Amino acid sequence: MKKKEANTYKKITTHVLQEMKLKSEKIAMLTAYDFSMAGLLDMAGIDVILVGDSASNVMAGYTTTLPITLDQMIYHASSVMRAVKRALVVVDLPFGTYQGNSKEALNSAIRIMKESGANAIKMEGGREIIESVDRILSAGIPVMGHLGLTPQSIHKFGTYVVRATEETEAQNLIEDAHVLEESGCFGLVLEKIPANLATQVTGEIKIPTIGIGAGSGVDGQVLVLHDMLGITQKFSPRFLRRYHNLNEEIQGSVKAYIQDVKAMNFPNEREQY
Ligand code: KIV
């Protein structure tokens, strides 16, 4: 079979991601929460867009991901879906909508799929949420897992430091990864864990792993859009590479606009009727 070049896939599906892993083609994933940004990411050729519950931080200004609601996630996801033609769109199930019982989890997942038109959902946790994962999968909804630093459990962890540095937690994470794979998850986010552990998990399971702060031995990478574009300034973990300083650029443009308005330089003759 002729080898497909990177980025020639017309539409990214969960099957394409599997194919990419088999061909050792890295998967590029970013978050987006609105129509305009999602459209830009899609046009640039991003493989996966995550409508992350990090919207709680970067869109709503909360310090954790816990407050965002299912209705709010559906609003963000449907805005993204109206822009996206090619990327696979994955939506986070927000805190409190799936941990309690698997029926509620299924209802939450169905609402996201029906009301936003998204392609898949993501859930944080391993064996402790497996009943919910199974139920959602059996309804035909693709599920992505998320292990390591799972921000919805921040009050249990008490800190955002690297997870699974100790043997017991690392072994638990490996077992969870296998359980999620066996249940039928199509992919797995590994957040803020040692690079050698992420590499080991990636080698042991057949579904693609997407890392954030998990080194280069994973099948793909994800970053929060506002962090990599330099809109957020205070959040500066070691794993974050800033590709732009939009904070400075936006402030500069807004200051120039204010000056022009105050000095009556805007609008000029050509900018009026
Ligand atoms: O909500 C989010 O943005 C995420 C990524 C950090 C993986 O879950």
Helix, coil or strand: residue 51 = strand
Question: Is domain 14-242 given the CATH code 2.115.10.20 in the classification?
Answer: no
pLDDT for residue 5: 54
Active-site residue identified among 191, 248, 249, 271 = 191
Compute φ and ψ for 177, nearest 5 degrees. -60, -45
| Residue ranges of domains in the chain | 14-242, 245-273
Tell me how far apart the alpha carbons of residues 185 and 130 are, in angstroms, rounded to a whole number: 10
Tell me how far apart the alpha carbons of residues 32 and 137 are, in angstroms, rounded to a whole number: 24
Q: Is 182 noted as a catalytic residue in this protein?
A: no
* Residues framing ligand 1 (Cβ under 6 A): 31, 50, 52-54, 92, 189, 191, 212, 222, 224
- Specify the ligand 1 atom closest to the Cα of 65: 1
Which tokens belong to 22? 């088999």
What residues form DSSP beta bridges with 29? 48, 222
pLDDT for residue 6: 54
Q: Render pLDDT for 203-260 as a digit per residue (tens, 0 to 9).
A: 999 999 999 999 999 999 999 999 999 999 989 999 999 999 999 999 999 999 999 9
pLDDT for residue 258: 98
pLDDT for residue 8: 83
Distance 50 CA to ligand 1 centre (A): 7
Tell me how far apart the alpha carbons of residues 21 and 181 are, in angstroms, rounded to a whole number: 14
Going through the chain in order, the beta strands assigned E by DSSP cover 27-31, 48-51, 88-92, 120-122, 143-148, 187-191, 209-212, 220-223
* pLDDT beneath 70: ranges in the chain: 1-7
Going through 59-192 in order, the beta strands assigned E by DSSP cover 88-92, 120-122, 143-148, 187-191
Cα 78 from chain centroid? 15
pLDDT for residue 1: 47
Compute φ and ψ for 190, nearest 5 degrees. -115, 115
Tell me how far apart the alpha carbons of residues 27 and 9 are, in angstroms, rounded to a whole number: 12
- Specify the ligand 1 atom closest to the Cα of 54: 1
Q: Which residue, 64, 63, 62, 58, is CA-closest to 76? A: 58
Q: Which sign does the torsion angle of CA 67, 102, 197, 181 carry?
A: negative
* H helix or E strand, kind and range, residue 41: helix 35-44
The answer to whether the CB of 251 falls within 8 A of the CB of 234 is no
Pocket test for ligand 1, best of 54, 57, 154, 240 (most atoms within 8 A of CB): 54
pLDDT for residue 267: 98
Which tokens belong to 128? 């402790």
pLDDT for residue 7: 57
What residues form DSSP beta bridges with 210? 189, 220
The answer to whether the CB of 169 falls within 8 A of the CB of 162 is no
The answer to whether the CB of 48 falls within 8 A of the CB of 56 is no
pTM of the model: 0.96
